[in-house]
Amino acid sequence: MRYLADTDTLVREGVLSPAQADEIARRAREDMMAFAVNIVLFAGILAVIGGLAAFLEDMAQITALGAVVTLAGAVALLRAPEAYRLLSNATAVIGAVLLVGGAVGWGVQASGSAGIAAVLGLPIGLGAYAVWRRGPGRLRFLAGWLTCLGVAAHLTGMLSEPLGAFLAGVPPWILYHYAAAVLILCGVALDFRLVSALSIPALAAALSSRSFYQTGVYGLAIYESTLTVVQMALLAGACLWLIRAAPERIARHATILGRLAFIWMNMAFWIGSLWGDRVGAHLWGPKWSDFSADPGWHADEAARAAYEAAQMAFMERVTVISADAYALVWALVILGVGLWAAMGARRAVFNTAVTFGAIHLYTQYFERLEAAPGTVVIAGLIAIALAYSAWRMNVWVRDRAKG
């Protein structure tokens, strides 16, 4: 776990020596410079890839150029001096994107089916991972990048168009859970936590979470708040167990996944505290497409009546959770997790709990408490009582640890 430290104060207090403080500052500068270089490099790579793809347009040409550039980058990585490693990796990355993107696009055009991307991406990812595991050390970055590209192509094909009769009838939520599992497996295999973290949007989409943009407004919709809370709570609990029981490498991935799961769980609580939830209604309830092919609600009266009757019948069977129940449970979860994180010095989880605690208070203040002087006083007294309780609990834990 990383901490922020005021090195000047620590030197004055004798906790650190001046040499140790200078070493910390030097390493911090190196990290910042590396981060800045990577940002500029990534922006340049994206510009080159986009420009070449737009200039060539023909998928066969893009594939051929990508193969040549990838091969040139691989040769440079194997034979060029260390000083040229950065440029060699940049060349290989550009070539790999052109190669995989062109090959997959070529296959899609030839077959007329986006599902071919899933078929082509799988051997690309597995073959590249074999090189990552067994090949020369200098090619590990390129092989890892090709593995990620293969996985991306495979999942894009799986989610955009199920593969014929083999996946016919498979619910989309199962495919999204499969995508999340593949991303976690890939991230752990390559020890690349960003890939593991991408499983969270896939898991959220599996239960009908959506984001959108419309006329200067960004929006978030979680249609299945209860199922999302349960899903993310289970993931966070599993990650907490892995952090304690699994090897350090797996624990690192479990840490980032657990934190992101806790964030998304709070988002689901937030939406539930405003509108409540009808559990499973959006995921498994009647769909308008089952009654009419007209998406604009302009079908005949019989189709509309049948849809409304099916909706009413389904809603009579679903479990309904009120917004007030959500608001109460959410407050208890934030309080409990926040205290647990504070006592264990889990800064990221504690900051998340504090942030959503403020959001919760702000939301309920305007939605339910009807902002007035009396409600402000009551809220302040509750906050003081909670702070005093947390302080006394912290003292008790400290004294118990000493004893």
pTM of the model: 0.82
CB of 95 within 8 A of CB of 68?
yes
Handedness of CA 246, 250, 256, 258 (dihedral sign): negative
CA-CA distance, 223 to 287, in Å (whole number)? 14
CA-CA distance, 30 to 351, in Å (whole number)? 26
CA-CA distance, 255 to 262, in Å (whole number)? 11
* Per-residue confidence band for 2, with pLDDT thresholds at 50, 70 and 90: low
The pLDDT assigned to 1 comes to: 45
pLDDT digits (tens, 9 = 90+) for 344-395: 878 788 888 888 988 888 787 777 766 667 777 777 787 787 778 777 766 7
Listed in sequence order, the residues at least 6 apart from 353 whose beta carbon sits closer than 8 Å to its beta carbon are: 334, 337, 338, 341
The pLDDT assigned to 394 comes to: 66
Coil, strand, or helix at residue 361? helix
CA-CA distance, 182 to 159, in Å (whole number)? 13
Phi, psi of 2 (to 5 degrees): -95, 145
pLDDT digits (tens, 9 = 90+) for 178-210: 999 999 999 999 999 999 999 999 999 988 888
Is the pLDDT at 232 greater than 60? The verdict is: yes
